[in-house]
Amino acid sequence: MRFLIGLFVFALVSAPASAQERYSAWPGAEPSVSADRERLQGFVDRLNTLVDEGEKARAADPRFLRDLRDLARGYDRPWRTLVLADDFGDGNFTADPAWTVTEGRYWVEGGWGLRSRIDLAAAQTQPQQQEKRSERDTALAILGTILGQAAGREKGGGSAATGVAATAAIHTGVRITNAFAIEIELSSWLGQGRLEFGPYRGADRATGYRLAYTPGGGLELLRVSPWGSSVVERVAGPLTLEDKKTHRIEWTRRADGEMTVSLDGKALFTTVDRGVTDPFDGFLMVNRGGEYILKRLAVYGTE
């Protein structure tokens, strides 16, 4: 038994670097990468089986078997079912998969991805403009009443036409298991605002987890609920992604609640939170005052 386990350990640790480092290759990548990844996972599965058998038969030192299980865990990728993938290459975000904008504006920019921009200066001056329009509209309404005409709304006027949203939110509905792997490529173009994204539960999208990035600041992992949000883990930074380059964020969650977040291949933190134990109903992204381009997104589940 020890000899067989040793062989699998050797095969595991000597697996091609591409299989270990390029787990996050996107759908449609070259077949060799996918094959290497599947081969590595096959070794891990078989090693776990041998460790299970070794524990039952007491065929090796328990500490040795525990060390092997810990080693296998570091290479194990239980998220094997692709549940959501989009690179916006078709120029459309309203179908396959269908995204819904609930606030602000999003558009697909050819060759880049799904883009959103919030003009904070315009949003901050909006209340003053609304107050001036209110005074003007009141005078026009009085005049319209006197003349027996409809209240004078100018063409293109009104808050619906001229309002500047301070938030841009978009989501897509898809079943995501409680254990998941999220791989996202994005770029940030302004040193202001905040970006949040993550899986949600419920029609109101008020429950779940979110990663929140503040330009020039840090990264926070939040657990959200209808009663508010709490910080699960935080990286103080500073993290500055405003170089107009695409950066990759990987976020994994295991069945026991362990979550790991990495940026451009470098692990930022690992933490545990069991506050949300049910599957999720979709994925959302919220722009709170910056400019971001979502280039690619892939979400994996365990079933």
pLDDT tens digits for range 14-54: 544 434 444 444 444 444 445 566 665 555 566 556 546 55
| Dist CA 248 CA 264 (whole Å) | 5
Mean pLDDT of the chain: 77
Instruction: Identify the structural domains of the chain with CATH numbers, from first to last.
Output: 2-75 (no CATH), 81-118+168-301 (2.60.120.560), 120-162 (no CATH)
Which pLDDT does position 66 carry in this prediction?
Answer: 66
Comparing 276 with 12, the larger pLDDT belongs to 276
Q: Does 180 have pLDDT greater than 60?
A: yes
| Residue 87: partners with Cβ closer than 8 Å, 6 or more residues away | 26, 113, 295, 296, 297
Q: Are 82 and 145 in contact (CB under 8 A)?
A: no
| pLDDT tens track for 75-86 | 667 888 999 999
Which pLDDT does position 220 carry in this prediction?
Answer: 97
Confidence label for 122 from pLDDT (cuts 50, 70 and 90) = low
Count of other CB atoms within 10 angstroms of residue 49 = 11
**Three-state DSSP state, 98:** coil
Helix axes 2-13, 31-57, angle to 10 degrees: 160
| Dist CA 213 CA 220 (whole Å) | 7
| Dist CA 143 CA 147 (whole Å) | 6
Q: Are 74 and 252 in contact (CB under 8 A)?
A: no
